[in-house]
């Protein structure tokens, strides 16, 4: 590690040749400190005991040490100790740095971090950067937009900033780019001398070819945040990284490169070949990714629309299962969003998610809870442990959820046709919220919410009249058939002499939950509403030649669907207009309006009513007809 003394680069100033870091700084009056800051002098003071100045030199093994003067590795007049002493000193310094790192991670506020470093006699560059990073972490938890003014005015924080502003050329590559990263995250003014000096030094090292892959990735990310994705230097960095062997990249470097390309998503076509190479290589490093890196890679794949990288998505999904308990709320939300986007579902992931949500649902962020329910809803996964936990959370902490999140929480119950054990408490709580905050719900959100309630038979009757109309119920049926007393078809335009109404509901594969044969909520309410309207509901999943139709090519299915509709309209049957969007036949090869439970045969009804019944059940789709030659329309008695 790059260990240096706190007054490096200012050792030639006689008034600063005193050890004791911030101990003396604390004893100085505020006016003196501010004067030092204004004059851009190093604010890290030493104690009153003089000692020979220290400078840094680089060891052959790429480790940096403190030498006791500018030329020798030992103090003048003192015996030279064996080289092992240097290693012992290095080990001691490393141990000290580790202790400081652990102490920094224990602090929960910026004030605690700054107070701690003010008690240190010396502070290495890496520790100074670590302090900035910890300040960044604790301020991020506070959801800050900009650093508070009291932080900017803090003399210890100013001292940290001046330290990097005055001597960026003496910093190691990793320290330079990490300091820049921390300051950018802290939203320090991009036009400040501090940021400009660090950026300039980073660009100079890039032009000289001194930056390694990791430093290039960090520099590229920070340039995007400071200057935008159109920055010419960013393009040069990406071009340079494309020429590197991916095998030399660490997992962290690969994910950082994904983040850079994610910021340049508008140019994804330009880098698609490189992305394909990265996607293939990433298969070999997934096992080494931390939960944070896993979520970041999935997010980048979503933004870059890498739907063709499905092998990578599947393998990421397998390793995500292992890390579910270790994801933060934000990371888990990103993972769920990615799985919904790519249409990925895995029973092992669902099982692990059930255990995690059931255990921690009351402590999860509302946004994450809504993401979990959206995942179940979009993938048609009936997970009772998840839905039960969500219902309990809603009853106990409903005030935490926004109107949009409430809609996302309730919608899966209706869509999946499931009522939790505490359903009465859930819908009582929902009704109370609607009474008090009805105007806060957007119209479309309110419609989805009330519709979800009605799908499970829990009608918020005080609000239904404002939303639903008979037109809504008429859209619920696939095919409507009217019959007279004799069991014959009556045209849909005729409303008198109708003895029976039949609604045929065809159970295709998309009408059930993905992981069971449990009917979806919108299909269940369809049958209940039709029965209330007086229909005899016929539900079937096996129809004549159903399998045959779905095994035909698409053109055959579309032709069959078109012929079915034209024939049904010719017979005067009411066909839902929504069926126009279906690419396959609704009744396959069967005859619309055929006599119920009786074979289709030539009829001679002398008592038939004019224009009420047509006996033309003849179909022109290669299906044998039982119509006798010359048989025409039924004549009146």
pTM: 0.59
Task: Compute CA distances 539 → 180, 219, 457, 533, whole Å.
Answer: 66, 63, 19, 16
DSSP code per residue over 555-590 = HHHHHHHHHHHHHHHHTT-EE-GGGGG-SS-SSTTS
Q: H or E element: which one contains 482?
A: strand 479-483
Q: What is the mean pLDDT of residues 161-171?
A: 81
Q: Indicate if the pLDDT at residue 7 is higher than 60.
A: no
- Give the per-residue pLDDT at 574: 59
Residue-wise pLDDT for 110-126, tens only, equals: 777 777 877 777 777 77
Q: How confident is the model at residue 558 (pLDDT cuts 50, 70, 90)?
A: very low
Cα–Cα distance measured from residue 427 to residue 425, given in angstroms and rounded to the nearest whole number: 6
Q: How confident is the model at residue 569 (pLDDT cuts 50, 70, 90)?
A: low
- Give the per-residue pLDDT at 178: 86
The domains of the chain are located at 1-166, 476-581
Q: What is the mean pLDDT of residues 30-47?
A: 38
Q: What is the mean pLDDT of residues 183-206?
A: 87
Residue-wise pLDDT for 343-376, tens only, equals: 888 889 999 999 999 888 888 888 889 999 989 9
Q: What is the mean pLDDT of residues 603-607?
A: 47
Residue-wise pLDDT for 512-540, tens only, equals: 888 887 888 877 877 787 777 777 887 76
pLDDT cut 70: percent of the chain above it: 65
Q: What is the mean pLDDT of residues 488-498?
A: 76
Q: How confident is the model at residue 439 (pLDDT cuts 50, 70, 90)?
A: confident
Cα–Cα distance measured from residue 148 to residue 159, given in angstroms and rounded to the nearest whole number: 17
**CB–CB of 110/138 below 8 Å?**
yes
Looking at 134-138, 143-147, 291-295, 528-532, which range is the least confident one? 143-147
Q: Indicate if the pLDDT at residue 204 is higher than 70.
A: yes
Q: What is the mean pLDDT of residues 196-203?
A: 89
Name which residue leads in pLDDT, 476 or 623: 476
Q: Which of the given ranges, 155-159, 203-207, 556-560, has the highest pLDDT on average?
A: 203-207
Task: Give the tokens for residue 234.
Answer: 């960013």
Overall residue count recorded for the chain in this entry: 637
Q: How confident is the model at residue 541 (pLDDT cuts 50, 70, 90)?
A: low
Q: Indicate if the pLDDT at residue 33 is higher than 50.
A: no
Q: How confident is the model at residue 260 (pLDDT cuts 50, 70, 90)?
A: very high
- Give the per-residue pLDDT at 144: 61
Q: Indicate if the pLDDT at residue 598 is higher than 70.
A: no
Task: Give the tokens for residue 287.
Answer: 């096992």
* Cβ neighbours of residue 315 closer than 8 Å, sequence gap 6 or more: 283, 286
């Amino acid at each position: 590690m790059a260990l240096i003394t706190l007054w490096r680069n200012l050792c030639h100033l006689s008034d600063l040749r005193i050890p004791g870091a911030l101990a003396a700084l604390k004893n100085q009056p505020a006016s003196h400190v501010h004067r030092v800051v204004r004059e851009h002098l190093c604010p890290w003071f030493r104690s009153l005991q003089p000692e020979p100045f220290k400078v840094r030199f680089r060891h052959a093994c790429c480790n940096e040490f403190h030498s006791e003067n500018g030329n020798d590795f030992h103090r003048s007049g003192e015996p030279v100790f064996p080289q092992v002493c240097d290693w012992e000193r290095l080990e001691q310094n490393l141990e000290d740095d580790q202790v400081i790192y652990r102490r920094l991670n224990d602090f929960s506020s910026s004030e605690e971090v700054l107070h701690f470093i003010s008690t240190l006699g010396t502070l290495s560059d890496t520790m100074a950067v670590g302090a900035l990073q910890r300040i960044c972490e604790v301020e991020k938890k506070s959801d800050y937009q900009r650093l508070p003014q009291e932080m900017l005015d803090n003399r210890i924080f100013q001292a940290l900033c001046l330290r990097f502003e005055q001597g960026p050329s003496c910093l190691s590559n990793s320290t330079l780019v990490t300091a820049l990263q921390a300051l950018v995250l802290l939203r320090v003014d991009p036009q400040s001398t501090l940021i400009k000096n660090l950026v300039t030094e980073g660009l100079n090292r890039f032009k000289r070819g001194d930056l390694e892959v990791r430093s290039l990735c960090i520099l590229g990310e920070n340039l995007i945040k400071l200057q935008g994705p159109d920055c010419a230097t960013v393009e040069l960095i990406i071009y340079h990284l494309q020429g590197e062997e991916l095998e030399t990249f660490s997992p962290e470097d690969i994910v950082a490169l994904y983040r850079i390309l994610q910021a340049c998503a508008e140019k994804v076509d330009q880098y698609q070949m490189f992305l394909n190479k990265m996607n293939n290589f990433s298969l070999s490093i997934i096992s080494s990714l931390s939960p944070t890196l896993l979520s970041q890679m999935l997010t980048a794949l979503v933004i870059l629309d890498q739907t063709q990288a499905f092998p990578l998505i599947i393998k990421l999904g397998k390793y995500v299962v292992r890390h579910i308990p270790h994801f933060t709320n934000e990371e888990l939300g990103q993972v769920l969003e990615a799985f919904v986007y790519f249409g990925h579902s895995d029973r092992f992931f669902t099982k692990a998610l059930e255990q995690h949500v059931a255990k921690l649902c009351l402590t999860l962020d509302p946004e994450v809870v809504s993401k979990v329910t959206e995942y179940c809803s979009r993938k048609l996964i009936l997970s009772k442990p998840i839905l039960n936990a969500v219902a309990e959370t809603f009853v106990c902490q409903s005030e935490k959820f926004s109107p949009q999140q409430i809609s996302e929480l309730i919608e899966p119950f209706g869509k999946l046709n499931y009522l939790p054990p505490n359903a009465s408490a859930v819908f009582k709580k929902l009704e109370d919220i609607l009474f008090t905050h009805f105007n806060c719900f957007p119209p479309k959100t309110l419609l989805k919410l009330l519709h979800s309630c009605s799908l499970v038979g829990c009608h918020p009757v005080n609000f239904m009249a404002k939303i639903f109309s008979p037109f809504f119920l008429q859209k619920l049926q696939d095919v409507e058939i009217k019959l007279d007393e004799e069991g014959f078809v009556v045209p849909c335009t005729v409303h008198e002499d109708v003895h029976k109404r039949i609604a045929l509901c065809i159970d295709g594969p998309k009408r059930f939950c993905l992981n069971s044969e449990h009917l979806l909520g919108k299909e269940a309410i369809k049958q209940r509403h039709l029965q209330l309207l007086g229909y005899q509901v016929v539900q079937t999943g096996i129809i004549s030649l159903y399998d045959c139709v779905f095994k035909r090519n698409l053109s055959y299915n579309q032709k069959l669907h078109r012929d079915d509709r034209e024939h049904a309209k010719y017979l005067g049957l009411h066909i839902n207009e929504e069926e126009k969007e279906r690419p396959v036949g609704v009744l396959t090869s069967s005859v619309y309006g055929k006599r119920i439970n009786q074979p289709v045969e030539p009829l001679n009804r002398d008592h038939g009513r004019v224009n009420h019944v047509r006996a033309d059940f003849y179909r022109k789709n290669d299906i044998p007809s039982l119509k006798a030659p010359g048989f025409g329309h039924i004549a009146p008695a």
